[in-house]
Structure 1
Amino acid sequence: VSIVLFFYAGPIGGVLNIAPELLSLSNVYISYVGGGLFMVGMIASLGTAIRNTGNTKGPMYTGIIINVIHIILNYIFIFGVFGLPQLGLAGIAISSIVSRLVGVIILYSLFRRSFEIKVRLRDFRIFNGKLFKQILKIAWPLGINSSCWVFSQLIVYSFLAALGAEALAARTYLNTLESFCFTLGYAFALAGQIQIAHLFGAGKLKEAYRSAYRTLFIGLSIVSANMLLLFLFGKQLLGYFTSDPKIIAIGVSLLALNLLLQPSKMLNMALGNALNAIGDTRYTMYTSIVSMSLIGVGCSYWLGISVGWGLIGIYCCMIADELVRGLLVLARWRGRKVLRQADIGLSEENASLHGAGKRSASLTT
């Protein structure tokens, strides 16, 4: 994907309906940042491996370091500090690459020390076919799920670009503010996923089932409180990003809808991650493909572009997509299909061990 983005930035910008006057800028940004996208994959995989050992602070501190470096380099490159040329958007792209590279180096160092045996470079040559198949069975639906989300977002952003620069800017600024609302909720969803996976692996199925709801309620409380603050002070916060009254007016008109969007997203994150934790990844993949395609993309075009509701219509479809997927994963979790199968498997295993123990005792006697 990085190679494609690097060499085909121009055609991709055209597909996204980017305005002609912005194409030269988009070519620079897509080729630079897109070309370094493989580092995002490395950060995600290394960070996940480290967190799953119980070390959640290491990736957190690394994320803080990445962002601090990114902000400092943005300032230096954009405004030409220390006698450097003013690079503008190209400077932002360069700072993104440099900060991500630093993140990869730090996380790789942590990864090597995350296990009882220190990981060395030659260990990456080890290949276990059986283990790889087990990982692939869980991973390929997750990969398709993530890809589906990325492509749906790209298509939706192409709709936003067709609505004009103001609508695109308003959505971009609001997305930044929203991230502060659901970041803590997403953190709880990830923590819940790790905990549920450990409990499920240990055969503590009832505790795993209850843990998902505990994660959901905590996350909903945090996200709802943050959303209320954003609703009350959103206009002032948008003023820090832009002074354009049209962009601010568009952003303010969407604040009330966010009171529905973010809780729906939290429902989907908490219980979707719970299903992924116990290996039920195909179900989340199927629901994502159907909902994102029909509601997230199809209805967004219908209401936002065809009917003419604009950004409000697209937001309504985003809410519907998140809510539908959230209710579907909730129904799946309440059905306990995978948990019941695991419970039967544990019962059969215990019965087999008990029978073997009796035979051993009889022979000894």
Structure 2
Amino acid sequence: MCGARHREQSCGPANRGGGGGVTVPRKSNLGVFSLSWPIFLQLTCTYVMGLVDVWTLGRISDDAAGAVGSVSTLVTFVLMMFSFMGQGGSLVYARSLGEGRTTKVQEYYFVALLLHIALGVVVGAMLYVFAEDAARLMGLDGRLLSYGTTFLEVVAAGALLHSVMAMLGGAMAANGFTLQAMFAAVLTNIVNIVLIYVLVLSPSGTRWGVQGVALSTVLATMVGLLYSVRLVFFRIGITFRRPASARDLWAHGALLMTFTLPTMLEPAFWQAAQIATTRIIAAVGTDELSARMYTLSITNMIGMFSSALSQGLQISLGHLAGAGDLDGIRRRAHGAHLAGSAIALALALVTASCGGWVMGWFTSDPQVIDAGKLLLWCGLLYLPGSALIMTTASTLRAVGHVTYPAAVGILVLWGVFVPLAYLLSLPFGLAILGVMIAMAVDENLRALLLTVRWRYLSAPERAHRIVKQPETDPVA
């Protein structure tokens, strides 16, 4: 912990030099790309970890893969909530660091850790107690129900680990240490693969099946968490400080929830919209549903790049907002908005041009391949807009406007996308093409609404609404 005021700058996290202390990272050191590429690799590791689990389950039996695939929707939703909660906290930390309030941000770390622990305990307990009910809700019965219940019960033990890991990852990211967070993800992935071989695939091993896959994930997450703890507290030197009073504790908690709740709600409603869309596509036909599942594996990779760019942008702009640098915010946001959309368009074009070859990786069914090629070309209509949504929403959140992106996302998703997807695909007979048209309308409409909002707020006469001049705080 830091004592005297003259030591405050040496208590914040940054690059450690020699044997001395650490210093708060300056905004000039937090470029968008340098923050984003480790986040992309971190997201890729998480994605690969899921693929390894699915592949392993397929080696056990198709029933095991299908059952766990069904309940994984719920698990993915929970992990996504932890991740977005960590990102919301990261935004609060970044803004405070940009303002130079080192002591204040140390108190935010402490309160955020308490919130993540509480959420992890509650969610883990609910997953364990209601594991069988949740599996039934996903339509499982018989042997499939047993597989799904077993997987949820074991994964429930790791909920707290995932929650705390998300908090520590957010703290590292806010201080510019996205590369270190990436190393934690890589280590988790490696340990998961080794444990799966030992517990599930090794001919001379225990062959624990579904339980072994779930246990591998939990134990690997524990190793990743321990490594993150070592990074945060011993390598980087981030300090956690208990607030001086209960009043400060509640005030910090309220501020953190103000930023994290909208950030968590939007992906929750998005996930629900994807479930509704899947049911619509299933009603169209099994070939179309299979093609949609396969092409999601491709478009999700493009989406991960956009997500990484938006997270790096949010951290960078958070520091600039705290420092009151409106010109820097405008320049960095403009460049990221253009780059994100342009790269997404280029990747979508390359993928669509190679559609037949790409779909051949997944299936030999000519009808599924044809449907998949159509879906990949449709990516040109919505993937650039999706990238613009992510970067613009992150820009708005970075300057403190967290409610508007969430409200727009929820209202347009459920007021435009889902109804339009149903109408165009089934009553109008456009099948899966109708869903893609609805998705293009949804993504581009949201991108337009967010862009208009950002241009309105960033006008010079309204600059005071998104940034403030840094103040000297004798305590923080």
Hey, which bits of structure 1, 4+ residues long, moved more than 6 A?
18-21, 344-347
- Residue of structure 2 aligned with 1:150, choices 271, 284, 288: 271
Asked if residue 192 in structure 1 is aligned to residue 320 in structure 2, the reply is no
Q: Tell me the distance in 1 between the aligned counterparts of 2:283 and 2:139.
A: 6
1:86, CA displacement in angstroms?
Answer: 6.7
Q: Tell me the distance in 1 between the aligned counterparts of 2:236 and 2:461.
A: 32
Q: Tell me the distance in 2 between the aligned counterparts of 1:200 and 1:250.
A: 46
- Residue of structure 2 aligned with 1:176, choices 287, 294, 297: 297
Match of 1:359 in 2: none
Q: Is the 8 A contact 1:53 1:114 kept in 2?
A: no
Q: Tell me the distance in 1 between the aligned counterparts of 2:178 and 2:327.
A: 25
Distance 1:3 1:278, change over 3 A: same
Q: Tell me the distance in 1 between the aligned counterparts of 2:132 and 2:418.
A: 23
Between 1:60-69 and 1:29-38, the stretch displaced more is 29-38
Match of 1:85 in 2: 207
Structure having the larger proportion of residues in helix: 1
Q: Tell me the distance in 1 between the aligned counterparts of 2:280 and 2:225.
A: 34
Matched residue SS, 2:361: coil
Q: Tell me the distance in 2 between the aligned counterparts of 1:21 and 1:304.
A: 34
Distance 1:244 1:307, change over 3 A: same
Report the TM-score, using the length of structure 1 for normalisation: 0.79
Match of 2:163 in 1: 41
Distance 1:2 1:316, change over 3 A: farther
Amino acid at match of 1:206: D
Asked if residue 65 in structure 1 is aligned to residue 172 in structure 2, the reply is no
Between 1:14-23 and 1:225-234, the stretch displaced more is 14-23
Gaps of 5+ in 1: 354-365
Between 1:100-109 and 1:23-32, the stretch displaced more is 23-32
Asked if residue 325 in structure 1 is aligned to residue 427 in structure 2, the reply is no
Amino acid at match of 1:296: F
Deviations 1:18-49 (A, max 9, x none): 79996555445455446644544333332122
Q: Tell me the distance in 1 between the aligned counterparts of 2:288 and 2:461.
A: 48
Matched residue SS, 2:207: coil
1:55, CA displacement in angstroms?
Answer: 0.9
1:175, CA displacement in angstroms?
Answer: 1.8
Alignment of 1:196-345 (within 5 A): 196-336=317-457, 343=464
Question: Which structure's relative contact order is higher, taking Cα pairs within 8 Å and 6+ residues apart?
Answer: 2
Amino acid at match of 1:52: A
Q: C-alpha root-mean-square deviation of aligned residues, in Å?
A: 3.7
Deviations 1:253-293 (A, max 9, x none): 21101122211110000000100111101111211120121
1:72, CA displacement in angstroms?
Answer: 4.5
Q: Tell me the distance in 2 between the aligned counterparts of 1:162 and 1:92.
A: 32
Match of 1:52 in 2: 174
Deviations 1:36-71 (A, max 9, x none): 445443333321221110111011222223333344
Q: Is the 8 A contact 1:170 1:248 kept in 2?
A: yes
How many positions carry a matched residue from both structures?
349
Q: Tell me the distance in 1 between the aligned counterparts of 2:223 and 2:369.
A: 35
Q: Tell me the distance in 1 between the aligned counterparts of 2:405 and 2:416.
A: 16
Q: Tell me the distance in 1 between the aligned counterparts of 2:421 and 2:196.
A: 34
1:323, CA displacement in angstroms?
Answer: 1.7
Gaps of 5+ in 2: 1-122
Q: Is the 8 A contact 1:186 1:219 kept in 2?
A: no
Q: Tell me the distance in 1 between the aligned counterparts of 2:363 and 2:200.
A: 17
Match of 2:59 in 1: none
Q: Is the 8 A contact 1:17 1:158 kept in 2?
A: no
Q: Tell me the distance in 1 between the aligned counterparts of 2:142 and 2:251.
A: 51
Q: Tell me the distance in 1 between the aligned counterparts of 2:432 and 2:146.
A: 25
Q: Tell me the distance in 2 between the aligned counterparts of 1:29 and 1:165.
A: 27
1:163, CA displacement in angstroms?
Answer: 5.3
Q: Is the 8 A contact 1:18 1:158 kept in 2?
A: no
Q: Percent identity?
A: 26
Amino acid at match of 2:187: I
Q: Tell me the distance in 1 between the aligned counterparts of 2:376 and 2:385.
A: 15
Distance 1:185 1:61, change over 3 A: same
Q: Tell me the distance in 1 between the aligned counterparts of 2:460 and 2:256.
A: 19
Matched residue SS, 2:328: helix
1:345, CA displacement in angstroms?
Answer: 9.3
Report the TM-score, using the length of structure 2 for normalisation: 0.62
